[in-house]
Amino acid sequence: MRILVLGRTGYLGAHVADRLRALPGARVFDGGRSPGADFGIDLAADPPQRMAAVLAAAAPDAVVNCAGATGGDAVTLAEANARGPAALCAALREAAPAARLVHLGSAAEYGPGTPGTRVTESAATHPVGPYGATKLAGTLAVTASGLDGVVLRVGNPVGPGAPTSGLPGRIAALLREAGPDPEAVLRLGDLSAHRDFVDVRDVAHAAVLAVTAPGPLPPVLNIGAGRAVAVRELVRGLAERAGFRGRIEEEAPGSARSAQVSWQCSDVTAAAEALGWHPAHPLGDSLAALWAATAPAGTLTP
């Protein structure tokens, strides 16, 4: 089976590609802008005709699109998250119409949730900012493409390799910097928002199952832990793992998104039914793996 992974150098893409390589008989190829990519492709800029030529050369049985932008201005987000998937679908229809497309979406597409409620795939989408809106546009491009495609709508990923551009990775970096100093103070925004944190390794497993599952799949599947956790709980869990002895101070207001979206939690029943997928890593396991992965080379971690 020939599998082309787009965005392999990113956080999710690296885990997905590693998991796919463990599949018996799989040949996994890297598609992206990096010089070492097997197939050079830029979803944010290449015209569909050029993408189609690259896809024809790659001859994939499946394409996993992990590429996208989580930060930047609205134009950057739109190019990567909306224009990119639309152009990719157009290219696939021309060059590899039978290939399965697995696209990584985001729970940010839903917007604010109702406290105490898990959101299903049929729920209305009300993204509150450019990131969620552009991810939703990418999802719509895939679901309307007519391809054998599925969107995995991912919650808040956490685990080994989490980048400092996201909250878990940033907190881990701050804790490494603070060390055991009892006078250290971490000044953070309001941590009362609830999020559905899902282990990055569970996301990668879901992508593998989506690639290999027989027959057509539902157009959208939630991939989360199915549990809303206060961001404060995540921060305290990391601090405990780090042996942090200082103080954590919350300074209101926090991020604009946290103020607008105080609760997010995904219902993952459909993924269990369609893929046989269940989250395997509890949050404590994810935090332990994240913390261990940030240790300097040669450092022993408990």
**Which residues does the annotation mark as catalytic?**
131
How far apart (Å, rounded) are the C-alpha atoms in residues 58 and 31? 9
Residues 147, 92 contacting (CB under 8 angstroms): yes
- Secondary structure (3-state) at 146: coil
Instruction: Count Cα atoms within 13 angstroms, Cβ side, for 181.
Output: 11
| Residue corresponding to tokens 């997905």 | 16
d(CA 286, CA 3): 27
User: 222: part of which helix (H) or strand (E)?
Assistant: strand 220-223
Two structure tokens written together for 89: 């679908």
Tokens coding 53: 């030529």
Residue 234 in contact with residue 240, Cβ under 8 Å?
Answer: no
The radius of gyration computed from the CA coordinates of the chain, to the nearest angstrom, equals 19
Crossing angle between the packed helical segments 167-178 and 231-242, to the nearest 10 degrees: 30
Type of residue numbered 212: T
Tell me which residue has tokens 């992508």.
207
By residue count, the chain amounts to 302
Q: Are 107 and 264 in contact (CB under 8 A)?
A: yes
Helical axes 283-293 vs 167-178, angle rounded to 10°: 50
Angle among Cα 283, 284, 287 to the nearest 5 degrees reads: 85
